[in-house]
Amino acid sequence: MAVPTQLGVQDAQFLHADTESSPANVAVILIFGPPQSGHESPDLDALTEHVRSRLHTSAVFTRRLRRVPLNLDYPYWVDDDAFDVDFHLQYSRLPKPGTWAQFRRFVSRYHNKPLDMHRPLWEVCLVDGLDSIDMVPKGGFALIVKAHHAAIDGTSGMHFFSGLLDTDAAGTPSVDSHSNSPHAGPAPAYREVLARALLNNVRSPVRLMESIVRAMPAVLPMLTARLTGRGQASRRVPDSRFNRAVSPVKQFDVTWFGLDDFKTIKNSVTGATINDVVLAVCGGALRRYLSRHKELPEESLVAWVPVNARSPGADADGGGNAISAMTVPLFTELGDPRERLVAISALTRAAKQEASRRPAKALIAVASQLPAYTMALTARLLSTANSRLRLCNAMITNVPGPQQPLYLRGSKCLYQFGLTPIGDGLGLVIGTPSYNGQIAFTVMSTPKILPDIEMFMRCMRRSFEALHTACVRSGMPRKVRR
């Protein structure tokens, strides 16, 4: 009999930080062209049958949470004996004329709607009626795949989302159709749950002290930098409009660039990476936007950059989170775009060397030994800490995606982009997933914090153009998508 899987420390943090106005949902939005010859446009019944045929590709589909009373221990993933795929699927059609603005509003509302915590933590919505969106051909449609962050991170989420798609119009699954993700296991009896909770809480103080001792060689240099004012860890994070409380109403916008243009820019600076170019473009956009509003601080804005912490070759089909992170100054005080990229590249290389001493993993190891009831309180406090302590000004996440076209029942996926949670003190998140030669810059915020998001997107495009021109010196770049 399978043993129920208990949530890890990071999974539990996302679970406890969830609020009604800012649920910890993540989503991927897939925009498809019309079906190729021999296929019909998908309806809800066809989508239901398709999803049912792919449930085996990820454990996320059929497992639900089993909480421990009074948060005495971390919750468990257990098989949902009452699972019904119909509860997780829905269809919607945009009202005429079906514009990009209407689509953005619909997706924002759908993404921010809390999931049913008594069922497996995912939903899929088929959206039709995209008739007046220039980049979508007639007969195109969209798919919104939403899940809770406690269940997936960027890497495991990519596996979860990809399980629904095909590698060709004939319907060849993108995930091995013969593989089966492990079941979560049956729900343990309450007596067993409470016995484990008692044992784990008795062990926690001893294991906590052992973790602290192991973590000190990695964490001590970071603490020393904070106390002495020397090193990157001591860099001050300036105040910004993005460090305010967020409202329940969320918004997003997207612009696309060619991935080859980013590779060209990367190759013009020795040692630079695609992620460095992403950060440099974002830094330039923030500089332009805040300068327009006369809010550009003298100090550089600082970004929080998640990093995949899975070991090479580790499976992601079981879901869950394995994230480290680094804080990176975006050098918004620099006016020259190429100089900004050079500075960011040098700093991220140094940050990776510092990360080799594993301070982030050491801190996670310490946190994993906290009693569950303490973690529940800590997660709530951390959800508001950034607005008071200003740990960063924005989050910028880059998740490489598949570089070959994917399909759904004969329809080619034209565009992909993702949405992540925002919260108080972290009112700007920029996600940059890549897919099939494109890289999407998805900006998430609220109308209160970013009332002119269209201007911000123009600043993003101008920042890219300026960086491309400065690095390549070969005229203006190829036309961007939007």
Q: Same fold for the domain at 5-191 and the one at 208-398+424-472?
A: yes
Give me the percent of the chain exceeding a pLDDT of 90. Answer: 53
- pLDDT for residue 373 is more than 60: no
**What pLDDT, on a 0 to 100 scale, did the predictor assign at position 20?**
79
Calpha distance 395→384 (Å, rounded):
15
Tens digit of pLDDT for each residue in 178-237?
Answer: 555 556 666 566 566 555 555 555 444 444 344 434 444 444 454 455 444 555 545 689
Q: Which pLDDT band, with edges at 50, 70 and 90, does 319 fall under?
A: low
Amino acid identity, position 145: V
Give the best-scoring range by mean pLDDT among 39-48, 281-290, 317-326, 401-410: 281-290
Q: Running DSSP on this structure, what letter comes out for residue 271?
A: T
- pLDDT for residue 3 is more than 80: no
- pLDDT for residue 28 is more than 80: yes
* 383 touches 239 (CB < 8 A): no
**Pairing, β 302-308 against β 323-329:** antiparallel
Mean pLDDT, the chain, rounded, equals 81
Give me the percent of the chain exceeding a pLDDT of 70. Answer: 72
* 357 touches 218 (CB < 8 A): yes
CA distances from 120 to 62, 83, 241, 388, 451 (A): 6, 8, 36, 34, 35
**What pLDDT, on a 0 to 100 scale, did the predictor assign at position 150?**
84
CA distances from 84 to 81, 117, 120, 149, 433 (A): 9, 14, 10, 21, 31
The residue extents of the domains of the chain are 5-191, 208-398+424-472
**What pLDDT, on a 0 to 100 scale, did the predictor assign at position 210?**
43
Q: Which has more confidence, 157 or 463?
A: 463
Q: Which pLDDT band, with edges at 50, 70 and 90, does 9 fall under?
A: confident
- pLDDT for residue 45 is more than 90: yes
Q: Which has more confidence, 343 or 383?
A: 343
* 148 touches 14 (CB < 8 A): yes
- Identify the CATH number of the domain defined by range 208-398+424-472: 3.30.559.30
- pLDDT for residue 122 is more than 80: yes
Amino acid identity, position 216: M
Average of per-residue pLDDT across 377-405: 73
- pLDDT for residue 306 is more than 60: yes
The structural architecture, per CATH, of the domain 5-191 is 2-Layer Sandwich (3.30)
CA distances from 277 to 101, 271, 274, 403, 443 (A): 28, 11, 5, 18, 16
* 353 touches 318 (CB < 8 A): no
Q: Does the N-terminal peptide bond of residue 97 adopt cis geometry, omega within 30 degrees of 0?
A: yes
